[in-house]
Amino acid sequence: MEARPVGAAAELSMAGLHASLSDPALESMNFLNEVASRYPQAISFASGRPCEEFFDIALIHQYIDSFCDYLRNELGYAEPRLSQALFQYGRTKGIIHELVARHLAVDEGIHVDPESVVVTVGCQEAMFIVLRALRRDERDVLLAISPTYVGLTGAARLVDMPVWPVRSGRSGVDLDDLVEQAARARAAGLRPRACYVMPDFANPSGATLSTEDRQRMLEVAGQQDLLLLEDNPYGTFGNGTRLPTLKALDTGRRVVYLGSFAKTGFPGARVGYAVADQRVIAADGTVSLLADELSKIKSMVSVNTSPVAQAVVGGKLLENDCSVIKANVRETAVYVNNLSQVLDGLARRFPPESAGAGISWNVPGGGFFVVVTLPFAVDDTMLEYSARQHGVLWTPMSHFYGAGNGTHQVRLAYSQLTPDRIEAGLERFTALVADAQQRAAAGSARA
């Protein structure tokens, strides 16, 4: 220890703090928020936030009342017990687990024991506690379909768990690469524990796995003894026939289902959940439910999820027969219309025969995101330039990959925008593309 002057102010060296704090995954979230906050007037295709048109404070009161009616009438709570349920410490795994299980049955055809549901502080906490449980030591690695949601990568960093990318290929998952990465990990003396995947309208890619690929992925997971961590925040926001979730197809308890109400309820409730019906076998043969093990971790992270917040989400579920599809008919129409408008707007502005050369995009069937591939590289410097010079924000896809990938792609999020703003935003984006192409041409002319 160096000698320090007595009474000197405490200063901490970043080098002495946890490595996640210097990691690009955590910095990237910060950088993107910071750029957005510096250009509040810019039209933002950057943030995947739900539409705000139907937000109304009166709904919060109404949902809480509906949930209290449920406690009174359906569960038979007398008033002291009712106020206790909302005010006092409560069940670590949550108090809306029955309603979550009903929702999963109604909307997803997933039938689970409510005891296997852990209600969490948003889906983020669900991801975190699952990874904390699975990461025992430095041999444990997580596989994840690439490009990957930043929140998953960040949660993995907090438990020092490496994330190995699995190629998504053309169809959303390259199953040969999944087998190969698992084998590579084992050959290196490591333990691939699970593979993270967002099968429906993924963030950031917008890709959706076919039913056949879902079946095959479950088979591969069984063969490789991997868990699948299925994250499904956007699945109900599609413009066509819905495909079964992995969990609905899961006959071997391979899938830990990560549920979010951030988009189907609202983000400010911070309510999500994990469904973890796996059996855990202790050395003495005792069997427990993975949900109960996750609950022990949760008790040391957040104690329990605010019952007030759970009441708000529970009330919204109750008012809609536990169907988030029913609860979001208007919102889904907004997202589906916005998606069409973005796709039509891109096609109009970048026809293949003219400016469109080298510019392409995918055609998701729902969700919040479209990915545009450009004939030039895009990075954070260009994002900042775009915000300043053209008044439009988007997300460089490189943030969702390890180094060196996605360099020519941007993610456009359209969920929070009105039709007018989408049109204006695409105009600005088109101007940016023209500008960047000119600058690239001038650059190569000079070279």
- Residues between 182 and 211 with contacts to its own copies, criterion CB under 8 A: 186, 191
Strand ranges inside 236-343, DSSP E? 255-260, 271-275, 279-281, 287-289
Q: Which residues contact 274 (CB under 8 A, 6 or more apart)?
A: 117, 118, 120, 126, 129, 130, 256, 257, 258, 259, 291, 294
Q: Is 26 in the site for its own copies (CB under 8 A)?
A: yes
Task: Check binding of 388 to its own copies (CB under 8 A).
Answer: no
Q: How far is the CB of 376 from its own copies (least distance, A)?
A: 30
Q: Which residues contact 345 (CB under 8 A, 6 or more apart)?
A: 422, 423, 426
User: Distance of CA 81 to CAs 265, 305, 314, 315, 432, Å?
Assistant: 26, 18, 17, 18, 59
Answer for the pair 311, 64: CB distance below 8 angstroms, yes or no.
Answer: yes
Binding pattern to its own copies, positions 288-327, x when CB under 8 A? x-x--x--xx-xxxxxxxxxxx--x---------------
Q: Cβ closer to its own copies: 128 or 400?
A: 128
Cβ at position 158, least distance to its own copies in Å:
5
Least CB distance from residue 79 to its own copies, whole Å?
8
Give the pair of three-digit tokens for residue 407: 């360099």
Report the distance separating Cα 368 and Cα 202, nearest Å. 9
- Ramachandran angles phi, psi of 366, nearest 5°: 165, -165
The single residue among 41, 73, 88, 354 that binds its own copies, judged by CB under 8 A, is 88
Which is nearer to its own copies, 67 or 237 (by Cβ)?
A: 67
- Please state the closest distance from residue 123 (CB atom) to its own copies, in A: 9
Q: Are 369 and 205 in contact (CB under 8 A)?
A: yes
Other C-beta atoms lying within 10 Å of the C-beta of residue 10: 5
* 407 near its own copies (CB under 8 A): no
Residue 182 vs 346, nearer CB to its own copies: 182
21 lies in the binding site for its own copies (CB under 8 A): yes
Instruction: Quote the least distance from Cβ 320 to its own copies, whole Å.
Output: 17
Please state the closest distance from residue 343 (CB atom) to its own copies, in A: 26
Output the six-digit token pair for 324. Answer: 């988030």
Nearer CB in complex with its own copies: 205/304? 304
Residue type, 404: G
Pick the binder of its own copies from 251, 354, 381, 444 (CB under 8 A). 251
CB of 398 to its own copies, least distance (A): 19
Q: Which is nearer to its own copies, 125 or 231 (CB)?
A: 125
Q: How far is the CB of 55 from its own copies (least distance, A)?
A: 4
> Using CB under 8 A, which residues numbered 109 to 148 contact its own copies?
121-122, 124-125, 128, 132-136
Should residue 420 be labelled a site residue for its own copies when binding is judged by CB under 8 A? no
Q: Prior bond to 147 cis, omega within 30?
A: yes
15 binds its own copies (CB under 8 A): yes
One of 36, 64, 106, 440 touching its own copies (CB under 8 A): 64
Q: Which of residues 28-57 bind its own copies (CB under 8 A)?
A: 29-30, 47, 49-50, 52, 55-57
Instruction: Give residue 40's identity as a one-letter amino acid code.
Output: P
Decide if residue 84 touches its own copies (CB under 8 A).
yes
CB proximity list for 411: less than 8 A, separation 6 or greater: 45, 204, 369, 370, 371, 394, 395, 396, 397, 400
